Amino acid sequence: MFRKGNSKNHHINNNDNQETNLDSVLDSSSQLVDYLLQKCHQTSDLKILTISNLTLFFIDNQVNQSEFNLNIIRRLNNQTNYKIDDVINVISVGDIEKSSDISYALLSVLKGSVCIYTNGIQELILIKIPSNNNRSLSKPENESQVIGSQVGFNESLSTNVSLIRRSLATPDLKNEFYIIGRRTNTGVSVLYIEGLASNDLVQRMRERLSSIDIDGLLDSAELNQLINDNSLSIFPQMLLTERPDRVCHGLLNGKITVLVDGSPMAILCPLSFIEFFESKEDYNVRWPIASFVRLLRITAVFLSVFFTALYVAALTFHYEVIPQALLVPLGESRSRVPFPPLFEAILLEFIIELLREAGARLPTKVGQTMGIVGGIVIGTAAVQAGFTSNILIIIVALGALASFTTPSYTMGSLIRVIRFPILILAGFWGFYGIMFGFCFIMIHLLRLTTLGSPYMAPFYPPRFKDWVDSIVRLPFRFIYKRQALPRPADKQKYNPDEVN
Amino acid sequence: MRKQIKNSIFILATTIILSGCAEQKVLEDIGLITTVGYDPVGKKIMSTMVVMQINPEAPQKIDVISSDALTSKGGRIEGNLKASKALQSGQLRVALYNEKLAKRGIRPYVDTLARDPSISDLTYLGIVEGSTKELLKHQYKNIPDIGQQLYNQIEQLTEKEQISNATLQSVQQSYFSEGIDPILPLIIRDGETIRVSGNAIMRNDKMVGKLTVEESFFVKLIRDEYNAGSIELTFDLKDDKGKKHTVTAVIDTIKNSSGLDLIEKNVPSFDLELKIKGRLLEVQGAIDLMNPKNVNLLEREIRKKMKEEIVDTIEYCKKRNSDVFGFGEAYRSSVRHANLTKSQWHQKYKHIQYDLKVDFSLLRTGITE
């Protein structure tokens, strides 16, 4: 929706219309000061400092104060007439660069650089000493795993890139930097392994990123929706993950990742439907366990989406299919409920969703209350009051539980939402309605693409060779081929004969 | 894009509005018939329906409703007049026919069950010696739900291979095949219990005779390929010292296979070969089983006894002109362009000849070996 057909200069999407050059502004320090003050609308935290023939500009809280005092101010106090190279020699900060582009310099200052102007010289020195107001590295909150690395991304782009580089110490890992957002000027990094990732896909990603014209970009989850193949679909087509190991695993398989400054989530693509139910931990545990867990997750999806619907359909239309042993308990628990099965099921599903949403929003201190409210008040009391049947409580709770097994949060919440239309279809048309809903979803899924690749691969188009690492995870000697979805340039991971 | 969305919403809305809702049959609002029995009353039929009560406060678990009408479905309509909830037969598990009705032919009453899509093909059929109404209406001391009792009883007997499989599907199959006749379990009320007393043999859809449980065992041996449960046999035996015993042995068949081959087609003659491997569960009479000679003698006598019994059973069925063994199927599969019809085969069946070979061996006589 926000994409435009033609690509434009993506380096800086700044909305200043007069192209400033050195001739007009950099002639004297007073002209530069005037320009900057006008550009920043006399903001109070733009500090201007003059030391002999040097003029220093920075934004007050964006620079690291101690570093600024120690490495810049102290070293600049003993000379009267600085030349540009003298400044560079004197200052003991590594990240230093010269630039003659005033708008680039301004952007750099906004992001935590100190800009030094030597009177009369047509070049600016930019010293990067951003204040270190980052959260320290912590455990990933939403994607925890038992065996494997316990570190998650944080909000700093440079930290996140370094976390990936630490695991992938190869010169082939390529980082392409973009700035997106007319007002936010958010830094975006695209990472991929040159020689593994398909050039077509990388080019497609470049085009999508450079055609974004949006005023603000605050999170990778927003960017994810902007570069999706189908932004109207309910299904996520790119994975949002906060795990560096998941990203590295993807990169090694020829996928592309996008990091956004200020967001602890990386975008990983292209990703097929089934890969949303995989986790990095599946490779850390032994293969029978990994395969079992994967099958469990897929069963859980079907259970979660269809179980309540089947209950409603069987009780409303198809009493024939109820097994004889279940007939009496089902009938007796239903006979006290004053509502039709559909209404009963929607009510209970709604309560569960309320509990979940309240649980996610509640402060942790009162979080325990939720368990009591959910477990005792709603569970037991609702049955005793003849509000719902206890069999339905089991079914709904099972469905809710099953939906939380999905490793991807976006996919998990989608599964919970998709239950409702299926439930309503089941309540109006029985099994026929469930089948209708299932077909509708399947048709949609089969039409979806992820970065131009088919979403339902390896099932459709059938790529049987990729099945060994999708619904199951076979031992390493059998999964030596990279999956075909991202069309990797190098198809073989390793020689299977040399792997035990 | 916007037009596409508009169109799809329009199509979805019209489908919902125009198609309306399906007919609802909410579980607790319908009377579930679990068992039905048919008795002849003059030209009419008396239908007796066991209706499940799913109200936990109800004094009884079931409600038995009888009504008479000219057809079985008419009986349900009549019965509905006496019920608090609309009667539905989708949970039907057992259908019973009075012996007298079965002698007139059960075809119309089986056909109506098979035609109803809500009725399971795995519904059990059975024939009652006496009135089904009396069997279903009786207040049994130890049976709270006669419908469930009948279903569980027939199911366990079928699974344990003590009676032939008589589901709606298999009865229909035998009925429509030219060379085999259906066989249904015979059920009788015996005081406060319900007993399966044997099997009813049919000619097409008419009941023509009864077999005891022992005779049914031999029918199963020939008719079904898989193992056929256990049997008790009594016979005389001379042991290795020449002493005479009257022995009763209980044999559990572990494996049996029957070969039925046509050898002459004008007057149909068959080679019937039974291979049975069994183990001895119990033996009454003082024989020394430690002696292998005695085991051999036992095997020989069992073989002889079985052969006698099988011949008796086949002769009985031949006399009643009911081919429950499937001789006709063997005939039809070996004679090309036979174009066999049911009546043609029944004409031929009366005169068939067969050469019976029984190969019985005891695999085990017990843990003391």
Q: What is the pLDDT of residues B9-49, one digit of tens each?
A: 888 788 777 776 678 888 888 889 999 999 999 889 999 99
B135–chain A nearest CA distance, Å: 21
B28–A334: do the CB atoms touch at under 8 Å? yes
| Confidence check: pLDDT of A209 > 90 | yes
Please tell me which residue of chain B has the smallest CA distance to A339.
B26
| Residue that has been written with the tokens 């859980």 in this structure | A300
pLDDT above 70: residue A340 = yes
**Beta carbons of A324 and B30 less than 8 Å apart:** no
| Amino acid B368: pLDDT | 60
The answer to whether A255 touches A197, Cβ cutoff 8 Å, is yes
Chain A: closest CA distance from residue B363 (Å): 39
Check CB contact under 8 Å for A428 and B118: no
Among candidate residues B181, B211, B241, the one where a domain is terminated? B211
* pLDDT for residue B228: 62
- Most A CBs within 10 A among B28, B91, B94, hence the mutation to make, goes to B28
Question: Average pLDDT, stretch A1-23?
Answer: 45
Q: CA-to-CA distance for A60 and A48, rounded, in angstroms? A: 10
Helix (H) or strand (E) holding B35: strand B30-41
Higher pLDDT, A150 or A3: A150
Give residue-wise pLDDT tens across range B196-217: 999 999 998 999 999 998 888 8
Q: What does the alpha-carbon distance between residue A105 and residue A59 come to, in Å, rounded to a whole number?
A: 12
pLDDT of residue A1: 42
> Smallest Cα–Cα separation from B352: which of B179, B183, B200, B176?
B179
Domain ranges, residue B159: 27-211
B68 and B192 part of one domain: yes
Q: A100 with A22: CB under 8 angstroms?
A: yes
Residue A288: is its pLDDT beyond 70? yes
CATH number at residue B308: 3.30.300.210
* Sign, CA torsion B158/B162/B165/B166: negative
Residue A38 has pLDDT above 80, yes or no: yes
Q: Is the pLDDT of residue A19 over 70?
A: no
Q: How many Cβ atoms from other residues are within 10 Å of residue A111's Cβ?
A: 14
pLDDT digits (tens, 9 = 90+) for A309-326: 999 999 999 998 998 888
Q: Mean pLDDT across the stretch A185-210?
A: 94
pLDDT in tens, B72-88: 888 889 999 998 888 99
Q: Which of B169, B184, B211 is the last residue of a domain?
A: B211
Residue B8 placed within a domain: no
pLDDT 10s digits, B89-142: 889 999 999 999 999 999 999 999 999 888 999 999 999 999 999 999 999 988
pLDDT at A335: 83
Same domain, B312 and B342: yes
Q: Is residue B13 in some structural domain?
A: no
Residue B102 lies in a domain: yes
What value does the CA radius of gyration of chain A take, rounded to a whole number of Å?
29
Task: Give the model confidence (pLDDT) of B98-109 as tens digits.
Answer: 999 999 999 999
Query: Is residue B112 located within the same domain as residue B171?
Result: yes
pLDDT (tens digit per residue) in B290-327: 788 888 888 888 899 999 999 999 999 999 999 999 89
Between A97 and A13, the more confident residue is: A97
Shortest Cα–Cα distance, A212 to chain B (Å): 19
Give kind and range of the element (H or E) at residue B274. Answer: strand B269-284
Using 50, 70 and 90 to split pLDDT, how confident is the model at A380? confident
Q: Which pLDDT score is estimated for A13?
A: 42
B140 and B278 in a single domain? The answer is: no
Residue in A321, A336, A318 with CA at minimum distance from that of residue A392? A336
| pLDDT of residue A20 exceeding 60 | no
Residue type for A362, please? Answer: L
Does B152 lie in the same domain as B118? Answer: yes
Both B256 and B162 in one domain: the answer is no
Domain spans in chain A, listed from the N-terminal domain onward: 22-128, 157-271, 286-453
| Residues A429, B22: C-beta atoms closer than 8 Å | yes
- Rounded to whole angstroms, the Cα distance separating A368 from A375 reads 11
Whether B249 maps to a domain, the answer reads: yes
For position B226, what pLDDT does the model report?
A: 64
What is each CA distance from B209 to B203, B220, B310, B317, in whole angstroms? Answer: 9, 16, 16, 8
Cα angle vertex B96, ends B46, B148, to 5°?
Answer: 115
> With bands split at pLDDT 50, 70 and 90, how would you rate the model's confidence at A303?
very high
- Asked if the Cβ–Cβ distance from A327 to B21 is below 8 Å, we say no
Alpha helices in B81-212, H assignment, sequence order:
99-104, 107-115, 132-137, 146-159, 168-176
For residue B279, pLDDT beyond 90: no
Q: How confident is the model at residue A9 (pLDDT cuts 50, 70, 90)?
A: very low
Q: B281 and B233 in one domain? A: yes
Give the separation between CA A473 and CA A286, rounded to whole angstroms: 9
Q: Which of B1, B56, B120 sits opposite A320 (nearest CB)?
A: B120
Amino acid A5: pLDDT: 41
Would you say residue B21 lies in a domain?
no
Report the Cα–Cα distance between both ends of chain A, in Å, rounded: 49
Cβ of B54 within 8 Å of Cβ of A327? The answer is yes
Q: In this model, does residue B67 exceed pLDDT 70? A: yes
Q: For all residues of chain B together, what is the average pLDDT?
A: 87
> Does residue B64 share a domain with residue B196?
yes
Rg (chain B; Cα; Å): 26
Q: What are phi and psi of B167, to 5 degrees?
A: -80, 165
Strand segments (E) across A41-95: 46-51, 54-59
The Cα B297–Cα B247 span in angstroms is 12
Q: Would you call B90 and A331 a contact, using CB atoms and an 8 Å cutoff?
A: no
End of a domain among B155, B181, B211? B211
B52 and B163 co-located in one domain: yes
Q: Are strands B193-203 and B206-211 parallel, antiparallel or unpaired?
A: antiparallel
Residue corresponding to tokens 């007939």: A327
Q: What would the mean pLDDT of A85-102 be, rounded to a whole number?
A: 84
pLDDT at A445: 95
Q: Which residues of A touch B34 (CB under 8 A)?
A: 324
pLDDT above 70 (res A200): yes
Mean pLDDT of chain A: 87
Q: Are B33 and B91 in contact (CB under 8 A)?
A: yes
Asked whether residue A202 carries a pLDDT value surpassing 70, the answer given is: yes
Q: Does residue A370 register a pLDDT over 80?
A: no
From the CB of residue A465, how many other CB atoms can be counted at a distance below 10 Å?
A: 14
Indicate whether B180 and B314 sit together in one domain. Answer: no
Q: A320: which chain B residues are within 8 Å (Cβ-Cβ)?
A: 90-91, 118-120
User: Nearest CB to A315: which of B26, B32, B34?
Assistant: B26
Residue B1 domain flag: no
How many structural domains are present in chain B? 2
Pair B180, B246 in one domain = no
Both B348 and B243 in one domain: the answer is yes
DSSP A469-489: BTTSB--GGG--BPPSTT--S
